[in-house]
Structures are given as C-alpha cells and as structure tokens.
Amino acid sequence: SLNDVFSEEELYDWERRTKKLLSQNSKVDYFCEIKFDGLAVSLIYKKGKFIRGATRGDGFTGEDITQNLRTIKSIPLFLSGKDIDIPDYIEIRGEAVMSKKTLLKLNLRNEKEGKQVFANTRNATAGSLRQLDPKLSAERELDFFAYDIADLVFGLPSGSPTISEPKTHSEKHVYLQKLGFQVNKNEALCKNLKEILVFIKKFEKIRPNFPY
C-alpha cells in the first residue's frame, strides 16, 4: 500500500514491518523516484498505436480523455521501439502535469479575462484535460511522465523465442524510455535506506527550483 512517512525514524519503521513479511534470506533493493502532483492517466497502445487514454477514476472506471491527451507532445502517438520489440498491447501509467511557469502564465491571462484562476498545477492539469475542445487543452502546454506498466502482451506465434519482459520497477523505466516515453531522471536504485536518504536529501536541494 502507499504509506506516507515524514521522518527517518518512520522510514526505518516501515522497512522493519516490510522485512517481517519476507523470508529471512530475502535480498531487498529499493527504487526511488519522485512523485508528480498532476493527473494520473492510463494510455492504451495496440500494435504500437495510441488508441485510448483515460483518467484513473475510481481505479476501475475513468474518464475517456483520449483526444485531449493526443495534444500533449510528450505522449507518442506511435511507439518507437528502440532496440526492443513492440508489444501487441500495452497499458502505460503516468502523470500528466503542468509546469509552475505555465500555471503562472495561465492564471495571469485568466485573471485579465475574468476567468477561473487555478489554486495549483494539479487542479489546472485536471481542468485542462477535461476541456470539451482539444484545442483548449493544447494551449495549456501540458507534459507527461511515464512511471509504470500496468499490462503488457506480446502476440507471439507458437514456438517463437520468449521476449524478455521488464521484471522490476527500474527495468520498467528503462523499457518505457526505449518505447519513446519521457521518464523523469530523478531516480535511483538503492541497496539500503542510507542510500535512499542520500537520494531524498539530494532532491531536497533542487526541489525549490524544480519546474513542476
């Protein structure tokens, strides 16, 4: 489950609870990445072509926002498949986001025109992707960062060699980049909690000037 921790002590408590669920000799690595505060979306590709995009909704049913997602330049309409085989079907999870700079411009313009002023980039992103006119969504200059693969299917004929699928979360990030997706570079594969804390402190230094 997604548990928030707010101190080093809570982080070590979390690890102790987690290791109780594993066998005694289990080797544990950690993958660190930053969490964007935007709108979580799922993208469906069939034979490398983007066919549908939806919000997360209640976890089972979301809103179809395909046409608006097509206006985001960092969402490929066709998968590139650099040095890998293109799957017959893949569902990609990621975050649609608006930069702080874009929000400032949008709010200044909306204020002059007597329109809605957004409280934060998350609300602005959600509002942009729920526009009925895709042209209005395109004007919002949204971005997209992929972070997970929910489903992956290769339609191989019988007897074909097995295609190596990503097994760990870090391998998924590498795979997503090869498919042509933007993945945030602030990530790290860590062997222990000390390395995780180094990652956290490193990001804390750049966070004030981070564009999102």
Q: Catalytic: 35?
A: yes
User: Using only C-alpha atoms, what is the Rg of the chain?
Assistant: 20
Q: Partners of 53 in the beta sheet?
A: 43
Q: Which of 35, 112, 135, 185 is catalytic?
A: 35
Confirm if 18 and 50 have CB atoms less than 8 A apart: no
Question: Phi-psi bin for 160: left (phi > 0), alpha (psi -120 to 50), beta?
Answer: beta
Three-class secondary structure of residue 103 per DSSP: helix
Confirm if 129 and 75 have CB atoms less than 8 A apart: no
CB count, 10 Å around CB of 24? Answer: 5
Confirm if 96 and 38 have CB atoms less than 8 A apart: yes
Three-class secondary structure of residue 26 per DSSP: coil
User: Which positions are catalytic?
Assistant: 35
